[in-house]
Amino acid sequence: MNLTFIDIKEFPKRMEEYRYSKGMDFLRDIIGMDWGEEGLGAIYILENTATGENIEVATITANREKPLIPTVCHLWNVAELYEREVYDFFGIYFTKHPDMRRLFLRNDWVGYPLRKDYDTSEAINPIRMENEVTEDVQRPYEIAEDAEQAIIDKQTNKIHGDQYIINIGPQHPATHGVLRFRLALDGEEIKKIDIHCGYIHRGIEKMSESLTYPQILALTDRLDYLSAHQNRHALCMCIEKAMGIEVTDRTQYIRTIMDELQRIDSHLLFLSCAAMDLGAITTFIYGFRDREKLLDILEEVTGGRLIQNYNVIGGVQADITPDFVRKVKEFCQYQKGKIKEYNDVFTYNVITQKRMKGVGVISRADAISYGCTGGTGRASGWACDVRKRHPYALYDKVDFKEIIYNNGDCYDRFWVRLDEILESIHIIEQLIDNIPEGEYKVKTKPIIRIPEGRYSASVEGSRGEFGVYIESRGEKSPYRIKFRPMGLPLIAAMHKILKGAKVADLIAIGATLDYVIPDIDR
Amino acid sequence: MEMKKPTIKSIPYEEFKDNETLESLIKELNKERTNVVVGALDDLINWGRSNSLWSLTFATSCCGIEFMAVGAARYDFARFGFEVTRNSPRQADLIMVAGTITHKMAPVLKRLYDQMADPKYVVAVGGCAISGGPFKGSYHVLNGVDKIIPVDVYIPGCPPRPEAMLYGMMQLQRKVKIEKYFGGKNHRAKKGEMPNEPIIVTNAPIDINENC
């Protein structure tokens, strides 16, 4: 894919053109870039959901002191959080953005970590043990007087002091990790929501810039540990594409089967946790009982239960065990019968239905604008499955249907996942008997260098589109690597979904959106 | 009255590793002998406490999922006295630090720890909580929770297997058993101070060390 550079003066107009005349309604990702002396910039990956056409555009500003880029968050809603992320890491200020605060790091953090000239020494940013002061107002940012960009909206208070505010998180069992919501309430109704991320931001992208490619592979598993296999698949695919490595058929079969097993694993955990959040402990136990059977298979083949470290560049780590085929078949047979049990004990329960039906609705247009891929998008009627849109591995050879529901409420989001368990089993059953003989791994060079250029790949993770973007300068380690988080668009859509919802609905909505925080924070 | 060897029902005493640490602790405690009545009461209370350790639901990343698995159907830590997890630090006896602690999370963790009622215990689960693990070189990761709170048990792994977690939790039970409840606590420093050397009960399994 070619990268088109747009002059910063024409940028707002051209982006509007892309959005409205060319119908690029899905902003997949914004990638902040530090191009050294050329300046700072951002790459936008756009997609037309009707035709599947993809483009990459970029803009660049030479001013490193006060880099300014016009915002696009009025065109794509998800840009609001993406741009805050770029501001946080690169210090690029997006003019006319309504809420330009740091997203991941503390307010008192010094410097912008993903810039190439960032000083990582402990002296500048020691571990601060005092509690962080929550800032509701963006910090004033003075722009040079000759700047032609429009005026910055000074104060856009997200939450006013006179509203009734409660904090949920960062340590709260229903946030599935460490995410913090500040809610402004009117009675029981949620008026505004302010999201604070970064409690598990580990700086994986910055670390990757000094690691070799095989070393980076280990970190992708720890992004979204419930789609560990898919994450690694994406990165391996991207590197193989860049180096021109052809993997064998056997590898493709193993990878596809493992991807689907991982998806079942993730959806079973989703079912368990969603049920527990709504107070149904029995379903939690049932889900974990069946998940353990699956983890046994994964462990036997890969050596790891949760984090498997199985894909490597050019193939997989080890061949499948002789028992693998039989065990997977047994599991598929077993799991099919269990869905009814979950439904009897949980899904058709009156309480579940009341708490999920019609709650937390997100329309198709909003789902696209917020970039909510995965189960959330498909529950709203958006056919966003990467396996269908841009088939990879063996997905163009197997027969499966994309699960699509149309109401976009919690109940549909729940059903998408349940149905996908069956669909994944269906995919596995088509492949499991036909695994071809051959090498499970092709030989690669001992030191892996990617030729200069920009490469991207994406896969359907367990909860959305997971993308990898690599800019290489021909070195052993990437110049810049960016992972598209699956969860960030989901929490960006939270305030739209929560409009008019009650506090208790937040739990049901959060559970069915099914985000994983380490994937959001990276 | 003397302090006895800490035995628990689940695993025989000899099968635990690192008994020397506990024995040296017992030796130290036995230097100052206790009244029979108080000692018997100590034993009774410690028996009760060690068999009803409630953990705080605290997880930041991958290890938390394994911790959930330990609580669920197959591994079920309720069998060993870790009946439930509590969502409020006020009701918890121990905190399982499961996952990476970042700069932004560090004050939150410290605050949670401070909110817990004494006697309280800390278990560092997984490489990240012990030393930063795979993210040791990152600009935003705390390299080991023992820099901010005292740790009682370390459970290595990335993430540790559920069996390893159960083993670590049992080591904590044994540690709870050799405590003078009335005659002054032996595992905590004075208020506001960090103990000089956190007592390490669980080390990495020997075979892993040798391979490294």
Token pair recorded at residue A120: 């990582």
Average of per-residue pLDDT across A207-228? 88
Contacts with A203 from chain B: Cβ below 8 Å:
135, 138-141
Q: Does the pLDDT of residue B123 top 60, yes or no?
A: yes
Token pair recorded at residue B66: 């394994």
A210 touches chain B (CB under 8 A): yes
Best mutation target, B67, B115, B139, to test chain A (most A CBs within 10 A): B139
Q: In what order do the strands lie in the sheet with A180-186?
A: A164-168, A180-186, A189-196
Higher pLDDT, A467 or B41: A467
Contacts with A289 from chain B: Cβ below 8 Å:
72-74
User: Distance between CA A348 and CA A357 in Å, rounded?
Assistant: 11
Token pair recorded at residue A388: 């269908």
Contacts with B68 from chain A: Cβ below 8 Å:
273, 288
Size of interface A-B (CB pairs under 8 A): 128
By CA distance, what is A200's nearest residue in B?
Answer: B102
| Low-confidence winner among A38-42, A86-90, B40-44 (lowest mean pLDDT) | B40-44
Higher pLDDT, B192 or B181: B181
User: Distance between CA A501 and CA B160 in Å, rounded?
Assistant: 39
Rg (CA), chain A: 23
At residue A68, the pLDDT reads 83
By CA distance, what is B64's nearest residue in A?
Answer: A177
The alpha carbon of A94 is separated from its chain's Cα centroid by a whole number of angstroms, namely 22
- CATH placement of domain B16-188+195-204: 3.40.50.12280
At residue B201, the pLDDT reads 45
pLDDT in tens, A266-317: 999 998 888 888 888 888 889 898 999 999 898 888 888 888 888 888 888 8
SS3 A27: strand
How do beta strands A311-312 and A315-316 pair? antiparallel
Contacts with A300 from chain B: Cβ below 8 Å:
none
Cβ neighbour number for residue A232 with a 10 Å cutoff: 30
pLDDT in tens, A77-90: 888 889 889 988 98
At residue A193, the pLDDT reads 84
Burial class (CB in 10 A: 0-12, 13-18, 19+), B20: exposed
pLDDT in tens, B53-91: 888 888 888 888 888 888 888 888 888 888 888 888 888
Mean pLDDT score of chain A? 85
Burial track A301-310 (b if 16+ CB lie within 10 A, e otherwise) = bbebbbbbbb
Contact B137 A202 (CB under 8 A): no
pLDDT in tens, B139-186: 888 888 888 888 888 898 888 889 888 888 888 888 888 877 665 555
User: Distance between CA A171 and CA A157 in Å, rounded?
Assistant: 25
- Identity (one letter) of the amino acid at A325? V
Q: Does the pLDDT of residue A467 top 80, yes or no?
A: yes
The alpha carbon of A368 is separated from its chain's Cα centroid by a whole number of angstroms, namely 14
Shortest distance between the Cα of A294 and any Cα of chain B, in A, equals 13
Contacts with A127 from chain B: Cβ below 8 Å:
103, 106, 142, 147-148
A120, A285, A307 ranked by CB distance to B158: nearest: A307
Best mutation target, A209, A222, A286, to test chain B (most B CBs within 10 A): A222
Contacts with B74 from chain A: Cβ below 8 Å:
288-289, 292
The secondary structure element, H or E, covering residue A426 is helix A410-432
Q: Does the pLDDT of residue B191 top 80, yes or no?
A: no
Q: Does the pLDDT of residue B5 top 80, yes or no?
A: no
A203, A273, A518 ranked by CB distance to B139: nearest: A203
B61, B104, B111 ranked by CB distance to A105: nearest: B104
Among A residues 131-160, those touching chain B with beta carbons less than 8 Å apart: 131-132
Contacts with B125 from chain A: Cβ below 8 Å:
none
SS3 A459: strand
How do beta strands A68-70 and A26-34 pair? unpaired
Shortest distance between the Cα of A75 and any Cα of chain B, in A, equals 32
ipTM score of complex: 0.84
By CA distance, what is A299's nearest residue in B?
Answer: B161
Burial class (CB in 10 A: 0-12, 13-18, 19+), A299: middle
Contacts with A172 from chain B: Cβ below 8 Å:
87
User: Distance between CA A352 and CA A269 in Å, rounded?
Assistant: 17
DSSP character string of chain B: -PPPP---SSS-GGGSS-HHHHHHHHHHHHHS---HHHHHHHHHHHHHHHT-PPEE--B-SHHHHHHHHHHSTTT-GGGGT---EESSGGG-SEEEEES--BTTTHHHHHHHHHHSPSS-EEEEEHHHHHH-GGGTT-TTB-S-GGGTS--SEEE-SSSPPHHHHHHHHHHHHHHHHT--SSS--SS--STTPPPSS----PPPPHHHHHH-
Contact A517 B73 (CB under 8 A): no
pLDDT category at A192 given cuts 50, 70, 90 is confident
Q: Does the pLDDT of residue B131 top 70, yes or no?
A: yes
| Low-confidence winner among A41-55, A148-162, B106-120 (lowest mean pLDDT) | A148-162
A173, A204, A288 ranked by CB distance to B87: nearest: A173
A203 touches chain B (CB under 8 A): yes
Cβ neighbour number for residue A413 with a 10 Å cutoff: 30
Cβ neighbour number for residue A474 with a 10 Å cutoff: 10
At residue B1, the pLDDT reads 65
pLDDT category at A516 given cuts 50, 70, 90 is confident
Contacts with B59 from chain A: Cβ below 8 Å:
177
User: Please, how many CA atoms are within 13 Å of residue A200, restricted to the half-sphere of its CB?
Assistant: 32
- Identity (one letter) of the amino acid at A143? I
| Cβ partners under 8 Å of residue B82, min gap 6 | B53, B54, B55, B71, B169
pLDDT in tens, A447-462: 888 888 888 888 988 8
B74, B110, B139 ranked by CB distance to A129: nearest: B110
User: Distance between CA B193 and CA A327 in Å, rounded?
Assistant: 54
DSSP character string of B48-96: HHHT-PPEE--B-SHHHHHHHHHHSTTT-GGGGT---EESSGGG-SEEE
- CATH placement of domain A204-521: 1.10.645.10
Q: Is the pTM of this model over 0.90?
A: no
A113, A173, A307 ranked by CB distance to B139: nearest: A113
DSSP state of A344: I
The secondary structure element, H or E, covering residue A414 is helix A410-432
DSSP state of A447: S
Residue for token digits 């990761």? Answer: B141
At residue A267, the pLDDT reads 92
A132, A170, A201 ranked by CB distance to B140: nearest: A201
A200, A218, A225 ranked by CB distance to B102: nearest: A200
Contact B72 A200 (CB under 8 A): no
User: Distance between CA B178 and CA B26 in Å, rounded?
Assistant: 7
- Name the β-bridge partners of A271: none
At residue A264, the pLDDT reads 92
Higher pLDDT, B126 or A52: B126
Contact B58 A172 (CB under 8 A): no
At residue A242, the pLDDT reads 87
pLDDT in tens, A130-167: 777 776 666 655 554 444 444 444 445 556 666 788 88
CB contact at 8 A, A497 and A178: no
At residue A305, the pLDDT reads 86
Cβ neighbour number for residue A122 with a 10 Å cutoff: 8
Best mutation target, A119, A127, A209, to test chain B (most B CBs within 10 A): A127
At residue B182, the pLDDT reads 64
Q: Where are the domains of chain B?
A: 16-188+195-204
CATH tag for A1-120 (out of 3.60.20.10, 3.40.50.720, 3.50.50.60, 3.30.460.80): 3.30.460.80
By CA distance, what is A108's nearest residue in B?
Answer: B104
